[in-house]
A and B are shown apart, each in its own frame.
Chain A
């Protein structure tokens, strides 16, 4: 039987086909209240007032600016953060094999700015952001957190000072969201003639689109999380039964993100073989990256980097498709190892 063709297990691909770019029909004029409502909805999800929200062109820019705007002082970053955050690090913080941040040594760098993402988008590991924030504040530092991959799925942690979100993580458009708590000493890191940092530096329609995507995603997550969690558990135990599979993260991670590596298999071939079965998966293997470097998240957690497969399961992925994935898994692996 063929897989439900076109099902998408790889996340962060939702684009905005957008009917407003070009074309002969001029777009409907926006009502200001609509933008304000959308912004308020996103703020509510984050547990902050709307005047602490900022919108920029994309997620990477949001991550970069949110962290870079903190006061100039040493910057400690967990070793599994995104490249644009790691690029700002003066100190890299090690993680455990499951991807959890190891206990901090604040005597070493008491007033640093820290950046630790909430849910890792590659291996699903969830960090204790609220407890971490408390500890950092005691030392006089600030905490930036990338909240992209938990927003909509789990209750948002408190305590962070600045946050950034890639709206694509919850099925939204290409849009970056920044949250800056009012108590935080944050200033625009970009060269500018005005001290003012505008709240809206992106297409306002995208804000409305993002708010509605977030509402929909949250609803779907609520309805389907038990189902996806069951799939995660089953997949983990299937991987344990099959020979030589290295599963990243652990069972305490977010259920819809799961990553495993197949010993002696090539990541690219696995991606291709799953595509034949109708599953679009991603890979952190070197052969899938432009610079031939494997995923730094897999390296930092000591996981096998070749033969890597990453699933970001949409909450509305039907059971038939999830079961089909489990069914074809052994033969896909076997086939790739033989090729």
Chain B
């Protein structure tokens, strides 16, 4: 159930880049599938939560890892979270 369909690593990226990567890469999985994201940005904790709330995806969990955190989210049927942003963003 909670085996991620996609694993992304944003280590080294600072806000808002980790959340932007999440928004872009979640397009690659199907509704109902899970995306895992690792980040070492202290802002990612609150930002991934807030992003899920704002875009309608489900925040499943966060766990501390060696250098930061690993987040699990489930893709919900929602419009493209990067909608309104320029092409290639």
Chain A residues close to B by CB (< 8 Å): 243-244, 246, 261, 263-266, 285-287, 292-294, 298-299, 302-307, 337-338
Flag if A304 contacts B50 (CB, 8 Å).
Answer: yes
Q: Across the interface, name the chain A residue whose C-beta is closest to B23.
A: A264
Q: Across the interface, name the chain B residue whose C-beta is closest to A292.
A: B42
Instruction: Tell me which of B50, B83, B85 contacts A246 (CB under 8 A).
Output: B50
Flag if B15 contacts A287 (CB, 8 Å).
Answer: yes
In this complex, how many residues of chain B approach chain A with their Cβ under 8 Å: the count is 24
Chain B residues close to A by CB (< 8 Å): 14-16, 19-20, 23, 41-43, 45-47, 49-51, 53-55, 82-86, 89
Instruction: Tell me which of B45, B84, B86 contacts A244 (CB under 8 A).
Output: B84
Instruction: Tell me which of B19, B43, B86 contacts A286 (CB under 8 A).
Output: B43
A306 to B13, CA, bound (A): 13
Q: Across the interface, name the chain B residue whose C-beta is closest to A265.
A: B16
Instruction: Tell me which of A292, A302, A337 contacts B46 (CB under 8 A).
Output: A302
Instruction: Tell me which of A285, A294, A305, A337 contacts B89 (CB under 8 A).
Output: A337
Q: Is the interface of A mostly helix, strand, loop or mixed?
A: loop
Nearest CB in chain B: distance from A101 CB, A:
19
Which 8 residue pairs of A and B lie closest in terms of their CB atoms, listed nearest first?
A306-B15, A304-B50, A306-B16, A299-B46, A286-B43, A294-B43, A243-B84, A305-B43
A306 to B84, CA, bound (A): 18
A292 to B68, CA, bound (A): 14
Flag if A244 contacts B89 (CB, 8 Å).
Answer: no
A213 to B86, CA, bound (A): 47
Instruction: Tell me which of A261, A264, A292, A294 contacts B20 (CB under 8 A).
Output: A264
Flag if A266 contacts B50 (CB, 8 Å).
Answer: no
A261 to B46, CA, bound (A): 12
Cross-chain pairs A/B with CB under 8 angstroms, 18 sampled: A243-B83, A244-B84, A246-B54, A261-B50, A264-B16, A264-B85, A286-B15, A286-B41, A287-B14, A292-B43, A293-B43, A294-B43, A294-B47, A298-B46, A304-B46, A305-B15, A306-B15, A337-B86
Chain A residues whose CB sits within 8 angstroms of the CB of B83 once the complex forms: 243
Chain A residues whose CB sits within 8 angstroms of the CB of B86 once the complex forms: 337-338
Instruction: Tell me which of A244, A246, A285 contacts B43 (CB under 8 A).
Output: A285
Chain A residues whose CB sits within 8 angstroms of the CB of B43 once the complex forms: 285-286, 292-294, 305-306
Flag if A294 contacts B46 (CB, 8 Å).
Answer: yes
